[in-house]
Structure 1
Amino acid sequence: MARNQASTALILRTIGIKEATYYARRQRLQKGNQARTYRGGRPQPGYSWTTDGKRISDEQIKEYLMELMAGEESAYGYRKLRICLQRKHQLIINKKKTYRLCKELDILMPQRQTKPRYPRRIARNRTIHRSNELWELDIKYGYIAGEDRFFYLMAVLDVYDRSVIDYHIGLNCEGKHAAQTLQRALWKRKVYQTEKKPVIRTDNGPQFISRIFEETCEHCQVEHERIPPKTPNLNAHIESFHASLERDCYQKHEFTTYHDAYQIVTEYIDFYNQRRIHGSLYDLPPATFRRQVAARQVPSFTVTL
């Protein structure tokens, strides 16, 4: 025995494997080959009680269920069948057991398919000729090193003039914040009450598929389209803004407090809109480009995406 152990140790040293690793793996394999014992929860009793203290077997309960399914209660699901058992037979039974017995009898009703109120509209290729035709919304995370937590930046960006129209900065970001940010952006661009409104493009984040955001889009009469999963290129313009934000702001500052992060990011967005040169806008900042296009000082163009 000792000779076998010595030869094993020599082989392990030769191939560079530690003895503890070898024996631990061998022990796991031996345990895996053994028959597993049941370590589940409490075993099923096989009966239920009535309100007056009588014990009713599961087989008898199944008969009750089959009698119900043969009568007017055939259209009921397991939840209503449980109520019938309680009322007709005074059974003390919960919905989980009723579901299990119905499943064993194969009498479960098919699950009802609900039609979403707001059908998903897939983003499609577009040609943009002016501002306020297509807006992109997305979220960017930032890290506060001094407080060891993250904050959120949700921005609305005009695809044509590349302006950050409005944004939300906070320690949380929910559907209500997306709805409020969209409404503010519509007011700022003075298109809240106009007949023709921009198309809103987002990904499939929980904020953008929430009920409150969809209701806001419906109330404001704006079309909301969502890009397919794993296609960030369809949100390329706001992704480009996020890349600039990461490179020119997040990587150059170590935020110590949420107040610092809010102030620095706000200042960067103002710089991005008012002073940062944009190569695709005739080397003009977005705000200057909008004014000069409106005054016809620079030629307009089209954006194809």
Structure 2
Amino acid sequence: MARKGGKRHSLEQIVRKLRDAEAMQNAGKTIGEVCQVLGVSEQTFHRRRHQYGGMKADEARRLKELEQENAKLKRLLAEAELDKAMLKELAKGKLLSPSRRRAAVDRLEKSFGVSERRACEVAEQPRSTQRYQPRVSSDEGPLVSRMLELVRKHPRYGYRRIWFLLRREGFRVNRKRIYRLWRSQGLKVPKKQRKKRRLGSSANSVTRHRAEYKNHVWSWDFIHDRTASGVPVKILSIVDEYTRECLSLRVGRHCRAEDVLDVLAGLFAERGLPGHIRSDNGPEFIAEAMRQWLHRMEVGTHYIAPGAPWENAYGESFHSRLRDEFLNVEEFASIGEAQGLAAQWKEDYNERRPHSSLGYRTPAEFARTCAASARATPSLQQHTSDQVPILS
């Protein structure tokens, strides 16, 4: 019960006034006189007497406590339901970085109308992290621009290889920063599903006969493509398995055994004789005249088992890079254009493309650190002049 214009009475005070009103009624006063003394309207008096009549002060106090506890439980239940709803909203995406958590907290504040403190508690985000404003370095603009230029030039390079290229150009930046900028720009190289590799049973596989020095083992194979007009393109690739250098990319409409022999003769004159050459069982490689000529050159042959390309792992790996970074990117208008672009890509692969298995050095850089181990070939010109067979 409260007087008009006065402060609100507590429940205990209301109970005491009802007790006084009952005493005044027993003394012969009317309801109107009682209400005048108490300073309330008759309607309020009857409502209070109906609610709290006959109640003692301690009972009223306990009722008030129960009402407060009930209100608190309702509030906690409402907050728990709200937290549950916010957690469902957060479950729509992974919160793996502070920036994503900042965005999630902002979304909760706008969607549910809660405070920053409440949203941070639900998202388990420190408020200092939420309010952090990243500082942009003065060199970030040129760095991002150059990174995007390299990505456009090499669309199949990942952030580690791009980072190494930037370091080589003089940017003083670590790999983690490049990864952050890479993610902020939405860059991603789609991952390929790796096929299961088996050891193989052939004694000529890379796992059983591994290259131990420069010019120890070469790998050669063919890869095919087409021009824009549908003309077939056949590419002969030769790779040094130890240095990962691409020694030859012969591009033509066809490539017969004598063409392969001409390429080998040029490489032997330029680099010296390799110890062995690994290949599959293609007709160009197993031709009798080719085998005899390699035997006279004292070059061993490692023919992998039929149907086991994983035994020629270095050649297959090189072809995957060739296909992914060159053949799938370039469209050839003619055979001549394919030859010119292949020569450019070969130079870029050897001289500028960092190779992860070589400690992010280029194959040419790594080859220069290797001791010269090719066998001397003083009689090579004599061999190629009077021992090269004429193949048909």
How far 1:122 sits from its partner (Å)? 5.6
How far 1:270 sits from its partner (Å)? 1.0
Corresponding residue for residue 266 of structure 1 = 343
CA-atom RMSD in angstroms: 1.8
- Partner amino acid, structure 2, of 1:123: N
- Say whether the 8 Å CA contact 2:249–2:346 is kept in structure 1: no
**Structure 1: how far apart are the matches of 2:323 and 2:233?**
14
Corresponding residue for residue 93 of structure 1 = none
Change (3 A) 1:127 1:261: closer
Corresponding residue for residue 204 of structure 1 = 281
**Structure 2: how far apart are the matches of 1:170 and 1:137?**
16
Residue 123, structure 1, aligned to residue 208, structure 2:
no
Q: Spell out, residue by residue over 1:207-264, the C-alpha distance to the aligned partner (whole angstroms, 9 max, x if none).
A: 0111221122122111112001111111111111111111111111111111111111
Q: Which structure has more RCO (C-alpha within 8 Å, separation ≥ 6)?
A: 1
- Say whether the 8 Å CA contact 1:156–1:182 is kept in structure 2: no
Q: Spell out, residue by residue over 1:50-108, the C-alpha distance to the aligned partner (whole angstroms, 9 max, x if none).
A: xxxxxxxxxxxxxxxxxxxxxxxxxxxxxxxxxxxxxxxxxxxxxxxxxxxxxxxxxxx
2:321 to 238, 244, 248: 244
SS at match of 1:141: strand
Higher strand share: 1
**Structure 2: how far apart are the matches of 1:167 and 1:255?**
15
- Say whether the 8 Å CA contact 1:152–1:172 is kept in structure 2: yes
**Identity rate, percent:** 27
**Structure 2: how far apart are the matches of 1:208 and 1:190?**
20
The 4+ residue runs of structure 1 with deviation greater than 6 A are none
Corresponding residue for residue 162 of structure 1 = 244
- Partner amino acid, structure 1, of 2:327: Y
**Structure 1: how far apart are the matches of 2:216 and 2:357?**
18
Higher helix share: 2
Could you list the runs of 5+ residues in structure 1 that have no partner in the other structure? 1-120, 192-196, 296-305
Write the mapping of 1:48-127 to structure 2, written as runs, cut at 5 A. 123-124=204-205, 125-127=208-210
SS at match of 1:142: strand
- Partner amino acid, structure 1, of 2:214: S
SS at match of 1:128: coil
- Partner amino acid, structure 1, of 2:235: L
**Structure 2: how far apart are the matches of 1:174 and 1:212?**
12
How far 1:152 sits from its partner (Å)? 1.1
Q: TM-score, normalised by structure 2?
A: 0.41
1:224 to 295, 298, 301: 301
How far 1:165 sits from its partner (Å)? 1.5
**Structure 2: how far apart are the matches of 1:294 and 1:220?**
22
**Structure 2: how far apart are the matches of 1:122 and 1:208?**
18
**Structure 2: how far apart are the matches of 1:294 and 1:214?**
29
Residue 283, structure 1, aligned to residue 360, structure 2:
yes
Corresponding residue for residue 9 of structure 2 = none
2:216 to 130, 133, 148: 133
Corresponding residue for residue 145 of structure 1 = 228
**Structure 2: how far apart are the matches of 1:167 and 1:256?**
18
Q: In terms of Rg, which structure is larger? A: 2
Write the mapping of 1:25-40 to structure 2, written as runs, cut at 5 A. none
- Say whether the 8 Å CA contact 2:249–2:342 is kept in structure 1: no
Size of the aligned set, in residue pairs, is 169
Residue 178, structure 1, aligned to residue 246, structure 2:
no
Corresponding residue for residue 69 of structure 2 = none
**Structure 2: how far apart are the matches of 1:169 and 1:215?**
25
Residue 188, structure 1, aligned to residue 270, structure 2:
yes
- Say whether the 8 Å CA contact 1:156–1:185 is kept in structure 2: no
- Say whether the 8 Å CA contact 2:204–2:303 is kept in structure 1: yes
Change (3 A) 1:235 1:127: closer
SS at match of 1:260: helix
**Structure 2: how far apart are the matches of 1:240 and 1:250?**
14
How far 1:129 sits from its partner (Å)? 2.1
